[in-house]
């Protein structure tokens, strides 16, 4: 396993189209191991392919248990598709490993149904899930559509963040 660099907003890599995964082999398993390692290292609960500059429809998620611990239930979610959004629109306090040091409130659906494939290529479904998991799924699947959670904020906030992170990116390079 190896750590990957996290792509930082406002990089265009986060906006590129992401390809469907068609080959379910050891290489894919190694890639998702790297994604999980990178996510844990940065104390994230989810990470999408484009966030490590792999423009493919791959997401990893690990929602902490009631003791705040991760690692017991790492999920690898390939080619996910939201097939249903249900329930109330809820306020969700979010951050993103690609937008380090920033959190804000965005709106999400309370529940969702997601069809996906596992590492073996088998078709699976998260049926009408809720809570943090449902919100995390929506956040990560947005990444696969080239969206970042800050896109949901007001224009004023977006412009301010864009400037701030563009400057930050330049300083990093």
Smallest gap from Cβ 122 to Co ion, in A, equals 26
Residues found near Co ion in the complex (CB under 5 A): 96
Beta bridge partners of 139: none
Within a 13 Å sphere around the CA of 112, how many CA atoms are in the beta-carbon half? Answer: 23
Extract the tokens encoding 144.
């696969």
Q: Please, which residue, 121 or 158, has the CB nearer to Co ion?
A: 158
Smallest gap from Cβ 144 to Co ion, in A, equals 11
Cα distance from N-terminal residue to C-terminal residue, the chain: 25
53: left (phi over 0), alpha (psi -120 to 50) or beta: left
- Look up 86 and say whether it is catalytic: no
Smallest gap from Cβ 121 to Co ion, in A, equals 25
Q: Please, which residue, 124 or 147, has the CB nearer to Co ion?
A: 147
Active-site option among 69, 140, 145, 159? 140
Q: Please, which residue, 23 or 172, has the CB nearer to Co ion?
A: 172
Q: Please, which residue, 21 or 147, has the CB nearer to Co ion?
A: 147
Interior angle at CA 137, CA 82 and CA 61, nearest 5: 135
Q: Tell me whether residue 168 is exposed, middle or buried, using C-beta atoms within 10 angstroms of its C-beta: 0 to 12, 13 to 18, 19 or more.
A: middle
Smallest gap from Cβ 44 to Co ion, in A, equals 8
Q: Catalytic amino acids?
A: 140
């Amino acid at each position: 396993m190896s750590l990957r660099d996290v792509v930082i907003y406002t990089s265009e890599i986060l906006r590129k189209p992401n390809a469907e995964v068609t080959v379910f082999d050891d290489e894919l398993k190694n890639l998702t191991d790297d994604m999980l390692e990178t996510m844990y290292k940065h104390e994230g609960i989810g990470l999408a392919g484009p966030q490590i500059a792999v423009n493919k429809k791959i997401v990893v998620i690990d929602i902490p248990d009631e003791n705040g611990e991760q690692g017991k239930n790492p999920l690898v979610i390939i080619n996910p598709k939201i097939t249903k959004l249900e329930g109330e629109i809820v306020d969700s306090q979010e951050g993103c490993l690609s937008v380090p040091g920033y959190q804000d409130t965005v709106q999400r659906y309370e529940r969702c149904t997601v069809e996906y494939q596992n590492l073996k290529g088998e078709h699976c479904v998260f049926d009408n899930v809720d809570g943090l998991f449902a919100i995390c799924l929506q956040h990560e699947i947005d990444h696969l559509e080239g969206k970042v959670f800050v896109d949901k904020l007001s224009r004023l906030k977006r412009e301010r963040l864009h400037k701030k992170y563009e400057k930050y990116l330049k300083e990093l390079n």
